[in-house]
């Protein structure tokens, strides 16, 4: 038992040392569940969707990842998944209930699998909101994708159509650009790109034309953002 304790302490020390260069204080998943007052009462359970086709999740299965907080703490070994429909990061401790983070404002970033999320401000119909975005290209100008799932009510049988259960349907991703700490802006058209990157409007317009940048093609948007950041 004593030997196992020493091994555990050693592994924690190695983990902390590995991340020392990033200046993040590394803590374990169990510490994450019990710290920052994120305990029972400050976390809310999420409902399990039953008898609904499709999925509200980016990943149905939980993936081990890390949560980085605004206080420069990195919590490791946390089982995470993203509920697109509710715009919530969910977590699970062992075989315990699924819970959703109720205080996302303490989050600097979240990483699991191939994904990196940030909780940021953005403009929607001229109003500022906050939400989780997937980071596609990080820099002075950062490119994000905003994921979306639509819920469709059940349909009753009629005519030649059978009854259909309610379902979740994945919608096309939307792309946003954020300059520094300003709210992220939706880039649905080429003019939106020029507005978002207006301090280099001529260079940006030329790059868009010469490189066939399309607002619905994330690969070309990444190239544009990389080019813009090279001008800074």
- Residues 142-190 have pLDDT tens digits of 999 999 999 888 777 777 777 777 888 999 999 999 999 999 999 999 9
Q: In this predicted structure, what is the pLDDT of residue 37?
A: 41
**Cβ distance 62 to 81 under 8 Å?**
yes
Lowest mean pLDDT of 114-118, 129-133, 161-165, 182-186, name the range. 161-165
b/e 14-36 (16+ beta carbons within 10 angstroms → b): eeeeeeeeeebebbebeebbeee
Show Cβ contacts of residue 52 under 8 Å, excluding neighbours closer than 6 positions: 165, 166, 167, 168
CA dist 53 and 55 (Å) reads: 7
**pLDDT value of residue 101:** 85
Cα gap 46→43, rounded to integer Å? 10
- Tell me what percent of the chain is helix, strand and coil, each rounded to the nearest 5: 25, 40, 35
Strand-strand pairing, 73-83 and 25-27: parallel
User: What pLDDT does residue 36 have?
Assistant: 44
Q: What is the pTM of this model?
A: 0.79
pLDDT digits (tens, 9 = 90+) for 12-60: 433 443 444 456 666 666 666 665 444 444 444 444 456 788 899 999 9
């Amino acid at each position: 038992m004593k030997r196992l304790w020493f091994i555990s302490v050693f592994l924690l020390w190695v983990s902390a040392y590995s991340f020392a260069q990033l200046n993040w204080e590394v803590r374990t998943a169990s510490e994450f569940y019990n710290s920052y007052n994120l305990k029972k009462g400050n976390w809310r359970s999420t409902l399990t969707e039953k008898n609904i086709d499709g999925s509200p999740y980016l990943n149905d299965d939980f993936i081990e990842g890390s949560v980085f907080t605004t206080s420069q703490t990195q919590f490791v070994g946390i089982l995470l998944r993203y509920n697109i429909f509710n715009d919530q990061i969910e977590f699970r401790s062992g075989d315990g209930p699924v819970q959703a983070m109720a205080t996302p404002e303490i989050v600097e970033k979240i990483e699991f699998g191939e994904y990196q999320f940030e909780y940021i401000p953005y403009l929607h119909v001229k109003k500022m909101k906050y939400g989780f975005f997937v980071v596609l290209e990080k820099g002075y100008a950062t490119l994000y994708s905003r994921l979306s799932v639509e819920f469709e009510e059940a349909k009753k049988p009629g005519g030649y159509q059978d009854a259909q259960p309610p379902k979740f349907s994945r919608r096309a991703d939307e792309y946003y650009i954020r300059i520094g700490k300003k709210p992220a802006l939706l880039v649905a058209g080429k003019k939106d790109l020029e507005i978002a990157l207006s301090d280099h409007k001529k260079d940006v317009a030329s790059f868009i034309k010469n490189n066939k940048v399309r607002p619905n093609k994330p690969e070309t948007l990444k190239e544009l953002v990389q080019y813009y950041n090279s001008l800074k």
